Amino acid sequence: MDSWALARTRERLAHLHSAPDDTPVADHLPRRFLHGDYHDGNVFFLGERPAAIIDWEQPRLAPRAWEIVRALHFCFALDTVPGTAFLRAYRAHQPLAADELRAGAELYGALQERDIWTYRSVYLDGNPAPRAFIRPPPYRPFPALWREAGLR
């Protein structure tokens, strides 16, 4: 796993050196109070119904589309079938335009590519839990993964 982390870090650095050095500005997206770490592991269920959301350590004001894209990434690994079902269910309760979701994906992708939380936590803070997030190479930029998923 350590060799995976090193190889992916080298590949990510090469990508970042060749990528534009601009994070998309999402000022046009409305900001809302968000959980900040929403995923299926932070939801308690009573039978099949959500009963509570836990782990409120990262709340923030941010575009909701950022957290929706993050949930699609963390909960479903951008798998089209469950991701489409999630978006359909979300949109049954809240309108979400395709351009807002696209802008959220651009913001999330740019921030994700520059985020080193997993490696910092594992290698500097000595926390073994995030090792589960270290994937084998090759590193694939989030925007490419998002395009391939076709989630809209």
Q: Which two tokens stand for residue 126?
A: 């000595």
The alpha carbon of residue 65 and the mean position of all alpha carbons in its chain are separated, in whole angstroms, by: 10
- Note the helical H segments in 1-152: 2-18, 64-76, 80-93, 98-114, 117-119, 142-149
Q: Is 138 a domain residue?
A: yes
Which residue has 């490419």 as its token pair?
144
d(Cα 31, Cα 103) in Å, to the nearest integer?
13
Residue 26 has pLDDT above 90, yes or no: no
**pLDDT (tens digit per residue) in 120-138:** 999 999 999 999 989 999 9
Q: Is 105 a domain residue?
A: yes
Q: Is 54 a domain residue?
A: no
Q: Is 53 a domain residue?
A: no
- In a 10 Å sphere around its CB, with 0-12 CB exposed, 13-18 middle and 19+ buried, how is residue 93 labelled? exposed
Q: Is 48 a domain residue?
A: no
d(Cα 134, Cα 152) in Å, to the nearest integer?
27
Quote the domain boundaries for residue 14: 2-30+65-149
**pLDDT (tens digit per residue) in 64-104:** 999 999 999 999 999 999 999 999 999 999 999 999 999 99
Q: Which two tokens stand for residue 144?
A: 């490419």
d(Cα 42, Cα 95) in Å, to the nearest integer?
24
Overall domain count for the chain: 1
Which residue has 């894209």 as its token pair?
69
Q: Is 69 a domain residue?
A: yes
Q: Is 55 a domain residue?
A: no
Nearest 5°: the CA angle 146, 152, 61 is 80
Q: Is 56 a domain residue?
A: no
* pLDDT tier at 19, thresholds 50, 70, 90: confident
The answer to whether the bond into 20 is cis (omega within 30° of 0) is no
